[in-house]
Structure 1
Amino acid sequence: MQISIEPLRLEDAAALVDAEDDATIRCLSEEKSTVAGTAEYISQLVRDAEQSRAKRAFGIWADGRCVGTVDFDPEVTDGLDTGDVNIAYGVAPWVRGHGVAVRAVELICAVIQERGVGHRAVIRTDSRNTASSRVAEKAGFVHLRDLQVLAETSEEGQPVVMHVFCRDLP
């Protein structure tokens, strides 16, 4: 399978909505996305980039089809150290378990390094999301610590525990 990442485009909105499932919604968006809302999110990212904000988002492409997103954000500070760059990702259920997310993380790390955005890439995974933790480990990240995130709560109203994984960027 050929995996690549490309900056998000408005034309990707419908494919991204199609790629969502309950797991994606629970971990990333908290509610079902719409094409219009996703297009607005992409437009906001473009405006943010024009204003020199640091977050960048990319579509994940598998064999010519947009199947998810990966982004980096050096402005995320919850559980991170100075110089850390947060990475978040999500892929369609039909490509999970095929190395797509791992390859996308490797590619986004190369972008972060190439652009000199930070010195360490960090992935924070919900402790209940073992698949996402496996992606981090397979991409060469090591478990740094666990973190209780007060800004996020579980369905039971408890603070979410995040596993924090890191990978130095040469």
Structure 2
Amino acid sequence: MIELRPLTAADAEAHCAGEDKHTVRWLTGGYGDVKGTIEFFNWLAGNAAAGAGKRGFGIWKSEGGAGAVPTVPARLCGYIDYTPDLDDGLDPDDVALAYAVHPWARGQGIAPEAVRLICDVLRTDKTGTRAAIRVEPENSASIRVAQKAGFRYVRDFPSNRDTHPDGTPTTFSLYLLDL
């Protein structure tokens, strides 16, 4: 079973332990440390309390026993966030999603399910009219997540804020889902 929960300071160590070269390459740009991660989680909590800006959640996986009762405590297996005010390649009512799954949990359908769950949150909260996944065309795993979650490819575009190490603009493929 997969569920989303707001992240707390107690989750920072497990979150950092789940980072690897793929997380750094496609999402964060660098490895986090526990202190900085706690500050980031506190910032996300402040945004949630204010009802504005980026909101982030831990992706938690529990193993079901008989009757879908978990047999072991849920384990942090990734991260997902949404940003309702990102304008890089998006229309004003699009909500950008970003996610990462820890290496031990990849290939289990966790990311598409987390994307579906975050879209449910957006619908419930009436945040935006479309969910958007911006993915570099070389990130085939994230493209598969978008497709499995029902998003449709729209176009490629050069970013007006993200760049490669050599300074050239990052090109993103845009995938959208009506909410």
Q: Shorter chain as normaliser: what TM range? A: over 0.9
Aligned length: 168
Q: 2:139 aligns with which of 100, 125, 129?
A: 129
Q: Does residue 1:29 correspond to 2:39, yes or no?
A: no
Q: Which residue of 2 aligns with 1:3?
A: 2
1:158 CA drift (Å): 2.7
RMSD: 1.2
Rounded to whole Å, the distance in 1 between the matches of 2:140 and 2:56 is 23
Q: Which amino acid aligns with 1:10?
A: A
Q: Which runs of 4+ in 1 moved over 4 A?
A: none
Q: Deviations over 1:70-116 (max 9, x none)?
A: 11111111111121111110010111111000000000000000000
Q: Which residue of 1 aligns with 2:152?
A: 142
1:156 CA drift (Å): 4.3
Rounded to whole Å, the distance in 1 between the matches of 2:175 and 2:76 is 26
Of structures 1 and 2, the larger Rg is shown by 2
Q: Deviations over 1:40-92 (max 9, x none)?
A: 10011122233332321110011210011111111111111121111110010
Q: Does residue 1:67 correspond to 2:74, yes or no?
A: no
SS of the equivalent of 2:128 reads coil
Structure 2, unaligned runs of 5 or more: 63-73
The answer on whether the counterparts of 2:85 and 2:92 sit within 8 Å (CA) in structure 1 is no
Q: Please show how residues 1-170 of structure 1 align to structure 2 within 5 Å.
A: 2-63=1-62, 64-169=74-179
The answer on whether the counterparts of 2:8 and 2:41 sit within 8 Å (CA) in structure 1 is yes
1:157 CA drift (Å): 3.7
The answer on whether the counterparts of 2:95 and 2:128 sit within 8 Å (CA) in structure 1 is yes
Paired-residue identity, %: 42
Q: Which amino acid aligns with 2:170?
A: V
| Range with bigger deviation, 48-57 or 94-103 | 48-57
